[in-house]
Amino acid sequence: MPDLAYLNGEIMPIEAAMIPIEDRGYQFGDGVYEFVASYEGRLFMLEEHLDRLERSMRELAYEPISRTDIKNAVLELFKASGYLRAGIYIQISRGVAPRNHAYTKKMLPQIIMTIRPVKDMPAEIRENGAKAITVEDMRWGRCDTKTIQLLANSMAKQKALDSGCDDAIFITDSGIVREGTSSNLFIVAGGKLATHPLTPNILAGITRMAVLSICKEAGLEATESFFDTNALYAANEVFLTGTVTEILPVVRIDDNIIGDGKVGVITQQVYDLLKKKAMG
Ligand code: PDD
């Protein structure tokens, strides 16, 4: 089975899916997206991803699209692929029109999706932990909308790889720790977890949400609070959360070893509980 695409109602091989050059997603980055993964043939937290997609579209004043239509398209594509462990990328742009910064209400949102098997994180990184660098957060002020404008994220990720690390962590100029390039971040200090509160400066990650509820169920204390790079470097454990990332332990940040430099006990516990939740 080839990897498939969905393009405004039709399913086809990815290579066959083409969009017009005047799509506003292409010309202005005027698009929103989601990435949903499946485990053993079941899509994990699909409703929560659809909630966030609807919210992103509302925040950017897109013409509404029926949630049921989007959901049915996702399910149709998932079924057509036959994949059990799949990653579905969903992107909606405002529409296609002659290039003009301003947009009109009449634009017809363009829906594309792709489906591919999920590439799991190499076992080596999962078992030994990842290395990260910090970078200044130069993104715009609405990181809570999941837009396709990911240049700062992709530049930061590449910088991390070029310096022999696995990912980058966004920090404000005053040292507040925001999130990873495609993940949220948690620290563990004195047995308690903390993650950045929901503000316009970070994405409200679905995995973050799952981790917070896992903590509640498991009796782990977790707060949504601001912390700075000093707290980050001094944490006993640090981990990243995301649909692709799942729970990724970080054992070195810049020149600092985190905790004892090994995957932490709480990180491992949260990872195991998340996998259990995802596998149903
Ligand atoms: N990214 N923060 C940012 C900036 C992200 O891009 C993502 C996800 C997250 C985690 O969100 P979630 O838990 O809902 O996946 C946080 C997706 C996976 C991507 O860009 O492909």
The CATH number covering residue 12 comes to: 3.30.470.10
> Are residue 72 and residue 31 in the same domain, yes or no?
yes
Q: Report whether residue 211 contacts ligand 1, using a CB cutoff of 6 Å.
A: no
Q: Ligand 1: which residue has its CA nearest to atom 8?
A: 182
pLDDT digits (tens, 9 = 90+) for 52-95: 999 999 999 999 999 999 999 999 999 999 999 999 999 999 99
pLDDT at 119: 87
Supply angle C-alpha 46, 51, 55, rounded to 5: 145
Kindly tell me if the per-residue pLDDT of 2 is higher than 80.
no
User: pLDDT tens for residues 200-227?
Assistant: 999 999 999 999 999 999 999 999 999 9
Percent of all residues in the chain with a pLDDT value above 90, rounded to a whole number: 95
Q: Is 195 exposed, middle or buried (0-12, 13-18, 19+ CB in 10 A)?
A: buried
Number of H helices, E strands in the chain: 8, 15
Confirm if 92 and 53 have CB atoms less than 8 A apart: yes
pLDDT score of 17: 97
Kindly report, residue by residue over 119-175, the tens digit of the pLDDT: 888 999 999 999 999 999 999 999 999 999 999 999 999 999 999 999 999 999 999
C-alpha distances (whole Å) from 210 to each of 52, 88, 239 are 14, 19, 14
Q: Is the dihedral of CA 206, 212, 216, 218 positive or negative?
A: positive
Rounded Cα distance, 122 and 58, in Å: 37
Q: Is 95 in the pocket of ligand 1 (CB under 6 A)?
A: no
CA-nearest residue for atom 20, ligand 1, is 182
Question: Of ligand 1's atoms, which has the minimum distance to the CA of residue 208?
Answer: 13
**Number of compact structural domains in the chain:** 2
247 lines ligand 1 (CB under 6 A): no
Ligand 1 binding pocket includes 56 (Cβ within 6 Å): no
- Distance CA(86)–CA(82), nearest Å, equals 9
Residues 138 and 247 in one domain: yes
**Confidence grade of residue 280 (pLDDT, cut at 50, 70, 90):** confident
Range(s) of the domain holding residue 265: 123-279
Report pLDDT for 224. Answer: 98
Write out the E strands in 66-225: 86-93, 110-117, 130-136, 167-171, 177-180, 184-189, 192-195, 222-224
Q: Please, what sign has the CA dihedral across residues 166, 170, 174, 175?
A: negative
- For residue 105, the model assigns a pLDDT of 85
Phi, then psi, of 74 in degrees rounded to 5: -60, -45
What mean pLDDT, rounded, does the chain reach? 97
Residues 93 and 176 in one domain: no
Residues 139 and 261 in one domain: yes
Catalytic residue status for 146: yes
Check residue 164 and give its pLDDT. Answer: 97
Residues 140, 73, single domain; the answer is: no
**116 pLDDT above the threshold of 80:** yes
Contact 224/198 with Cβ under 8 angstroms? Answer: yes
Atom 11 in ligand 1: which residue has the minimum CA distance? 205
